[in-house]
Chains A and B, each alone.
Chain A
């Protein structure tokens, strides 16, 4: 199972909105509503930010939102803050009954 495709890096200024894409196939992202997103700060464990494409766990800011169109899922962060600077990973369930991650995107807040 190949990794999902994410941009290596994105950047934005405080207050702006950014979107990170996650492209797969009809056997993973496009075939199931089990897409999730994770935030990982340096030296820390990942943290779940979005599950089932659009759902936010309790305690996650509503500045984070998820969506999906066809084989591409997206994470949007609005009102960008310095604390949002981190690596972000998407993940999806697959038709092989496995899970696959994206390669990760480094978000820089300018």
Chain B
């Protein structure tokens, strides 16, 4: 069974940093394009970014609101996806979901991890 489990969320002060992890199982992780999507409290879904597989260069795309502050990476040897978040702002407060990305869609979702940015 395909599983994505996020971890690393918590409370952080504005300007601080946090690294989220997403452990994958049940599929060939190094063949999967992956993405992060977030959802602020009582708000809609927002795409954060995407990482390609190594054979596609392992390149990343990030949404404008997080570009230059957030970095997506992957460790295929550990079947793990990461989201490094720096210079955090209060508006980054959200549940962060890890997803697989295929055929232009977010196919499989994790349960999410909550990030709260507050002083």
Binding site for B on A (CB under 8 A): 1, 3, 32-36, 38, 40, 45-48, 51-52, 55, 57, 89, 91, 93, 97-104
CB distance from B39 to the nearest CB of A (A): 8
CB distance from B100 to the nearest CB of A (A): 10
The answer to whether B105 touches A47 (Cβ under 8 A) is: no
Pick the interface stretch among B69-77, B78-86, B108-116: B108-116
Binding site for A on B (CB under 8 A): 35, 37, 44-47, 50, 61, 63-64, 97, 103-112
Which secondary structure characterizes the binding site on chain B? Answer: strand
Residue from A47, A57, A98, A104 having most chain B Cβ neighbours under 10 A: A98
The answer to whether B61 touches A102 (Cβ under 8 A) is: no
CA distance A55 to B107 in the complex (A): 12
Known: A97-B61, A98-B61, A99-B35. A91 touches B44 (CB 8 A): no
CB distance from A53 to the nearest CB of B (A): 9
- Report A-chain residues with C-beta under 8 Å of the C-beta of B97: 45-46
